[in-house]
Amino acid sequence: MIIIPAVDILGSKCVRLSMGDYDAKKIYELSPLEAALNWQKLGAKRLHLVDLDGAKSGNPENAGIIKDIIKSVNIPVEVGGGIRDDETVENYFNAGASYIVLGSILFKNIESVRRSLLKNKGKIIAGIDLYDEKIAVSGWKEFVEVPFAEAVKMFKNEYGIENFIITDIKKDGMLSGVNTELILKVARMGVEIIASGGVSGLSDIIRLKELNLPLLKGVIVGKALYDGKMDLKAVNEML
């Protein structure tokens, strides 16, 4: 299990939202590029970049900033937000992204990324964002009716997606602790998981590690790192 620092970009700035609320954002002095370089310097093995403007609009609004970050770091980068077609996926891979995170489009028009799913097996991650286990899309402004267990099964069996980021929206940005019950539930589905939402500090990382789940490959951490509640270097040494 690795720690994956999040770099969330809104209006060209590095921010953290609370429960996905765009009106409840905390803006950090570090630019997105500075944040990425800082986490790399402190030992990050991978970065999670999110175009929050894109997640809402459906277009890659901050592609320039994201491509600059990819070019400036030498660790793997996963990119999500505003990716709605094969062309955008291809553009990010051509820019050097190691993984692409697809969310809303998988539920709204999966055919528009079918070619990418077939071509890039192992490099496409399905981002499933849950509010009380209901799937939220489009910047967490809409809900879909498909039960999340069925969605995971469909993406795995019909489209070959083996990697999932599971975000508990109610905990995201709240420093309220991770939802281990949800992680255990997804792990039983036989897919690789990256946990997201609620990490408040070292104790949460220890709780996740103690689950002893081989399929739990990483945990995305945002506010706990930015607010100094967790020391990335120290945690990496422990892992």
Q: What is the pLDDT of residue 107?
A: 94
Residue 164 in any domain: the answer is yes
Would you say residue 199 lies in a domain? yes
Residue 236 lies in a domain: no
Q: Is residue 128 part of a domain?
A: yes
Under the phi-then-psi rule, with left for phi > 0, alpha for psi from -120 to 50, and beta for the rest, what region is 143?
A: beta
Answer whether 113's CB lies under 8 Å from 80's CB.
no
Is the pLDDT at 16 greater than 70, yes or no? Answer: yes
- Which residues form the catalytic set? 8, 129
Look up the domain containing 204 and give its range: 2-231
What pLDDT does residue 138 have?
Answer: 77
In a domain, 188, yes or no: yes
Classify residue 239: in a domain, yes or no: no
How many domains are contained in the chain?
A: 1
Considering the chain, what is the average pLDDT of its residues? 93
Assess whether pLDDT exceeds 70 at residue 102. yes
Beta bridge partner(s), residue 219: 3, 195
Domain for residue 105, yes or no?
A: yes
Give the mean pLDDT of 84-113: 96
Instruction: Identify the CATH number of the domain in which residue 38 sits.
Output: 3.20.20.70
Q: Does 130 map to a domain?
A: yes
